[in-house]
Amino acid sequence: MKRFLALDLGAESGRAILGTLADGRLELEELHRFLNEPVRLPAGLYWDTLRLFHEMRRGIHCAARERNLKLEGIGVDTWGVDFGLVGKDGALLDNPRHYRDARNDGQMERTFAVVAKSEIFAESGLQFMQINSLYQWHAMKQSGSPALEAADTLLFMPDLFNYFLTGVRRAEITIASTSQFYNPVRKCFAAGMLEKLGLRPGILPMIVLPGSFLGPALETDIPVYAVAGHDTASAVAAVPAKGKEDWCYISSGTWSLMGVEVREPIINNACQEFNFTNEIGVEGRVRLLKNIAGLWLLQECRRAWAEQGHSYDYGQMTEMAAAAKPFTSILDPDAFLSPGEMPAKIAEHCQSRGEKAPGTHGEYCRTILESLALRYRQVLENLEILLGRRLTRIHIVGGGSRNRLLNQFVADATGRPVIAGPTEATAAGNILVQAMGAGIIRNLEELREVVAASFPVTVSEPTPGANWDDAYARFARLRT
């Protein structure tokens, strides 16, 4: 019996999850959960980084001190793109900004004025989103950031927390590949492109692979491993797909990340036109995927309604959606990036595009879920064009896989069976990559066999009808 601790930080909450591996099966236990709430200051929107690290230390304490467990390893995964800057003295120079900070507005165009969009895509193979690390870094340069001038090392969020734990500065490859300044063909940072932008590639640390041993956690002898530090990479590693099945995945949570695994990056005009991304996964697999807004729209509606005195849990919101009339409204989920006043933004979005605004809270919830399913269908069709083959089934993992109504909508909209689970794919992937680093699991295939043996899944078979096709035609017009 071997025990590992996953420190899994999402955009809404963080958890310390204990993984017990025995006889080819993995059991998970949540030891500590904490909110991840951004902090708005006069200068912008920030992550509460030191409080998050305090909570992570609390999770380690729960396992090692309160439970007196022998841990074989600790691994950290987080959301992508954001980073912190460390000085020569080892101090954090500035609190990391939140990717939804307004500093990023219009920054892509300012960057393209220096380096052409086509060159950036050729160098990185990454989708264009204003939240990407490249634009955040360039915005700091253009504003004359004192922290950037003093920086000795740039560390992506899981690498920053690993540094806090071990004192070791490294860039784990899966999180580095979300930056838009990592070249997946040459397998290194795109130093030449960075220099054109006046950015110092010398502050980027050495790249390491998932499963790399970093060192013991400070004040303990517990090994810390660089896992697949991007939470999506950990989740994709734990997709319980078998053999050479022609499948795609959706890692469903605050964001929906939909894609496939390929052996080599696909960097061509069609990929750029569809705005897909080539990120790195476990064992060097390439995650050809698309970011979709995800359940963040529901989260924001829930927050807005609670402020108005209407408190719902997600189960209630799903029940309201199921009871609402189908296809009253359709929206583009990717049109919503900034937080706040989500119901009002949805109503304005629908009305400005000739759609009726949702009339009840249930209609808002159903509109979001139906529109996500329609967006998944569009992304699936684009994936099949890029690959030149049909994808026969969809695996949905992560917290969003609990939403059976959305799973059925996806099956109906796409005409493909949906296999949902595990819900804790990110934590499972984190822990099992640690086990790979410790030599307990041999490879990714064996890792997925453990996942398949350990967690139940549910299957939603498609029941397509003309209504979904009609709705998809409306959705396609909405996005043109």
Reduce the DSSP state of residue 268 to 3 states and report it. coil
- CA dist., res. 23 & res. 467, Å (int): 48
Judge if the upstream peptide bond of residue 422 is cis by omega within 30 degrees of 0: yes
Please pick, among 8, 77, 101, 231, the residue that the annotation labels catalytic. 231
Q: Give the pLDDT score at 466.
A: 75
Domains 2-230 and 239-421+442-480 share a fold: yes
- CA dist., res. 13 & res. 395, Å (int): 23
Q: List beta partners, residue 53.
A: none
| Ramachandran class of 384: left when φ > 0, alpha when ψ lies in -120 to 50, beta otherwise | alpha
Comparing CA positions, the residue from 442, 422, 417 lying closest to residue 432 is 442
| Ramachandran class of 449: left when φ > 0, alpha when ψ lies in -120 to 50, beta otherwise | alpha
Give domain 239-421+442-480's CATH number out of 3.30.479.10, 3.30.420.40, 3.40.1390.20, 3.40.50.300. 3.30.420.40
pLDDT tens per residue, range 122-152: 999 999 999 999 999 999 999 999 999 999 9
DSSP conformational letter for 16: E
Q: Which two tokens stand for residue 377?
A: 């269908």
pLDDT at 479 over 80: no
pLDDT band with cut points at 50, 70 and 90 for residue 238: very high
Q: Give the pLDDT score at 240.
A: 96
- Tell me the CATH number for domain 2-230: 3.30.420.40
Neighbours of 215 (CB within 10 A): 14
Q: Give the pLDDT score at 359.
A: 95
- What dihedral angle (degrees, nearest 10) is formed by the CA atoms of 216, 184, 139, 119? 170
pLDDT at 176 over 80: yes
Long-range CB pairs of 317-323, under 8 A, 24+ apart, other chains included: 317/361, 317/365, 318/365, 318/369, 318/403, 318/404, 318/405, 318/406, 320/360, 320/361, 320/362, 320/365, 320/366, 321/362, 321/365, 321/366, 321/368, 321/369, 321/405, 322/366, 322/405, 323/362
Q: Which two tokens stand for residue 365?
A: 């919830």
Q: Give the pLDDT score at 243.
A: 66
pLDDT tens per residue, range 15-41: 999 999 999 999 999 999 999 999 999
pLDDT band with cut points at 50, 70 and 90 for residue 480: low
Instruction: Say what the pTM is.
Output: 0.92
Looking at every residue in the chain, the average pLDDT score rounds to 96
Q: What average pLDDT score do residues 147-165 get?
A: 98
| Percent with pLDDT over 90 in the chain | 95
Reply yes or no on whether 231 is catalytic: yes
pLDDT at 464 over 80: no
Report the Cα 276 to chain-centroid distance in Å. Answer: 14
Q: Give the pLDDT score at 117.
A: 97
Query: Where are the domains positioned within the chain?
Result: 2-230, 239-421+442-480
pLDDT tens per residue, range 305-352: 999 999 999 999 999 999 999 999 999 999 997 888 999 999 999 999
Q: What average pLDDT score do residues 414-423 get?
A: 97
Q: What average pLDDT score do residues 161-168 get?
A: 98
Q: Give the pLDDT score at 171.
A: 98
Reduce the DSSP state of residue 423 to 3 states and report it. coil
